[in-house]
Every structure is written in structure tokens, then in C-alpha cells.
């Protein structure tokens, strides 16, 4: 029997159609809106419905109404106690602690990121993971794009990064989503208004890939998936052990998606905060 663990606070109404199915997640779409039905291992998110008591890949239909949703024809009412609040929030900011924790975060990314992730942007030795002529050209394109991103011509860099790389969510789009999260964090740290820059990056990164656009939209609006929200909490308030744990937890998202998003977040922090 399906049991609902949590449901995200950014799920839109609509009749959804199956987009893609995996062991841990089933993805549904309705025009440019997405909902992801996942298990507890994947965790909560702004667009996630977390279920237990059933194999996730047995779920084949979804419809979202005003007061609840239907999974495989069974209705589940929205429950305030199970709503996942995905909005990025901070209570205070201690610069020295944050900067120290960033060094733990970066070293964890370099040491433990999966092969073929964007960790080569942080450590040249990680380039050894890429050996074919295609992969070497791929590295050059990424490095060129990131150099532009770090310059005044940052939107040119975003244009090159958009859609760059293989996979359901290309590494370039994962990187951009991390940058958008960094900008939202900076707005909260400095009580500044980054809405114009965020909008420029988001609009530049939009494409015909509605799947990645859904993730970019969440990042642009500061709506975070549980694993990334926990990472930011640990960067702000915890210490080395928790940062390592939460960073490595990100690596379970896709083949490299979690790591690539984390690299984009770190480079975005260096570009806009430090």
C-alpha cells in the first residue's frame, strides 16, 4: 500500500504523463511542469512526492488537484504536516565559520566526487578521468565557459554551459543550477537584491529541455531539494564531519548531477560572494 512520506510545496495542479522511470524515481510531466515520485533514499524536494510501502517504479499515473493528488488512481489529500518546505532560509551568518567550512566542502568535492564529474574545474589532477579526444574537447569547452563566467561576460559563459554534457540533466545545466542557488544564498547573507542577475542567468539557461528547466526554475527561486538544503545548513552552522556527510550525500543524485551542481554552487560562491 502506498504511504506518503512528504510532498513538495511547489507541485502544480494538472494531469501528468509519464516522462521517465527509474528504480528510485518516476518522473511525470505536464507541459513544462514536473513532479518526481521518489523513495526516501532520494528524499524530499520542492517537486517531489516521497512514498514508501511500494516499489516506486510500480507507479504509472499521477494527477494533481486542488486538495490532493492521485497515484495509480488512489487519492491522497494534501497534509500540512507532510509538506516539505523547500525555501532556502538562514537565521544568522558567521563569515569566518562559513569560509572555514567552504574549505572542507571543496576538499570533499575534489576527493570524493564521482569519476567524470566537474571536479576537474577545482583540481587539474581530476582531468585524468577523461582520456578520449571527445572528452578532452569537452573539458576545454567547460573550462572556457567557466573562465567567461568568472569574467564580466558571465552570461556568455552561461550560454556555453547551457545543455553542455550528456545525461538527462546535462552537467552544464547542473552547474548553472548550483550558481543560481549560490546567488540566492548571497541575497540572504548580504540582504541584497540579486533578482536581476538571477533572472538574466535563468532566462539565458532556459531551453527546450523542460526537464532541466524545472530544476533551474526551482534553483532560481531558492527552492531546494532536501540534500542540498542540508548541505547549506551544515556550511552555515555545522562542522567538518557533517559537511563531508552531506556533500557525499549529494553524490547519490544521478551519475554526476549532485556533484556537478555542488561544483557550480562553489564556483558561484567564489564568483559572487567571496
CA atoms within 13 A on the CB side of 242: 14
pLDDT at 274: 64
Q: Are 169 and 150 in contact (CB under 8 A)?
A: no
Continuous segment of H or E residues that includes residue 261: helix 257-272
Parse the chain into domains and list their residue ranges: 3-84, 95-272
Please tell me the distance from the alpha carbon of residue 30 to that of residue 207, in angstroms, as a whole number. Answer: 16
The Cα 179–Cα 174 span in angstroms is 9
Write out the chain's pLDDT in tens, 274 residues: 899 999 999 999 999 999 999 999 999 999 889 999 999 999 999 999 999 999 999 999 999 999 999 999 999 999 999 999 999 989 889 999 999 999 999 999 999 999 999 999 999 999 999 999 999 999 999 999 999 999 999 999 999 999 999 878 999 999 999 999 999 999 999 888 999 999 999 999 998 888 999 999 999 999 999 999 999 999 999 999 999 999 999 999 999 999 999 999 999 999 987 6
Give me the pLDDT at residue 272, please: 87
Question: What does the pLDDT read at residue 166?
Answer: 80
Amino acid at each position: 500500500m502506498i504511504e506518503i512520506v512528504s510532498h513538495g510545496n511547489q507541485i502544480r495542479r494538472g494531469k501528468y504523463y509519464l516522462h521517465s522511470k527509474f528504480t528510485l524515481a518516476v518522473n511525470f510531466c505536464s507541459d513544462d511542469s514536473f513532479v518526481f515520485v521518489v523513495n526516501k533514499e532520494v528524499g524530499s524536494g520542492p517537486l517531489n512526492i516521497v512514498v514508501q510501502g511500494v516499489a516506486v517504479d510500480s507507479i504509472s499515473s499521477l494527477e494533481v488537484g486542488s486538495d490532493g493528488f492521485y497515484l495509480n488512481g488512489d487519492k491522497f489529500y494534501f497534509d500540512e504536516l507532510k509538506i516539505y518546505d523547500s525555501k532556502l532560509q538562514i537565521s544568522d551568518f558567521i563569515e569566518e565559520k562559513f569560509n572555514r567550512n567552504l574549505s572542507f566542502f571543496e576538499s570533499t568535492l575534489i576527493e570524493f566526487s564521482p569519476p567524470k564529474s566537474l571536479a576537474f574545474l577545482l583540481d587539474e589532477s581530476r582531468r585524468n578521468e577523461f582520456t578520449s579526444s571527445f572528452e578532452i574537447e569537452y573539458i576545454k569547452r567547460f573550462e572556457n565557459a567557466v573562465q567567461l563566467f568568472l569574467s564580466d561576460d558571465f552570461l556568455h559563459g552561461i550560454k556555453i554551459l547551457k545543455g553542455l554534457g550528456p545525461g538527462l540533466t546535462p552537467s552544464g545545466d547542473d552547474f548553472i543550477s548550483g550558481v543560481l542557488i549560490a546567488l540566492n544564498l548571497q541575497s540572504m547573507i548580504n540582504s541584497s537584491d540579486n533578482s536581476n542577475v538571477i533572472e538574466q542567468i535563468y532566462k539565458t539557461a532556459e531551453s527546450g529541455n523542460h526537464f532541466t528547466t524545472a530544476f533551474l526554475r526551482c534553483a532560481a527561486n531558492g527552492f531546494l531539494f532536501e540534500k542540498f538544503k542540508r548541505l547549506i545548513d551544515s556550511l552555515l552552522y555545522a562542522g567538518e564531519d557533517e559537511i563531508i556527510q552531506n556533500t557525499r550525500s549529494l553524490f547519490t543524485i544521478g551519475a554526476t548531477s549532485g556533484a556537478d551542481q555542488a561544483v557550480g554552487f562553489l564556483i558561484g560562491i567564489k564568483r559572487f560572494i567571496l
